[in-house]
Amino acid sequence: MLSVEYMYAFIQEEVLGITMNKYRKTQQQLEEAERRADRAEKNVTLNVRHTSTSLGPGHRGQRAMSVSRETTRIVRV
């Protein structure tokens, strides 16, 4: 027969495993979102440059654009 302490330790390990898998999945999703944001920011910059240069040298209506991102990482153990 298994002791109560052994069963409690087993359950704690299972919960820890589930929690760590959720953390890893969330971390991967965050990293993928950051990559998408970087690509989108690059595309916006390239599109703004392309639009400004395609309008010709006499065009003075150049646009300025700023994109900012803030990420917060929370690690709980």
In this predicted structure, what is the pLDDT of residue 43? 87
Residues 6+ apart with CB under 8 A from 59: 52
In this predicted structure, what is the pLDDT of residue 59? 53
In this predicted structure, what is the pLDDT of residue 67? 60
- Both tokens of 15, joined, read 């919960």
What is the rounded CA–CA span in Å between residue 13 and residue 52?
58
Residue 65 pLDDT exceeds 60: no
Q: How far is Cα of residue 50 from the mean position of the Cα atoms in its chain?
A: 27
The residue whose two tokens read 């969330």 is 26
CA atoms within 13 A on the CB side of 52: 12
| Domain boundaries of the chain, sorted by first residue | 1-55
- Both tokens of 38, joined, read 């970087």
Supply the mean pLDDT for the chain. 80
Q: Is the pTM of this model over 0.75?
A: no
Residue 55 pLDDT exceeds 80: no
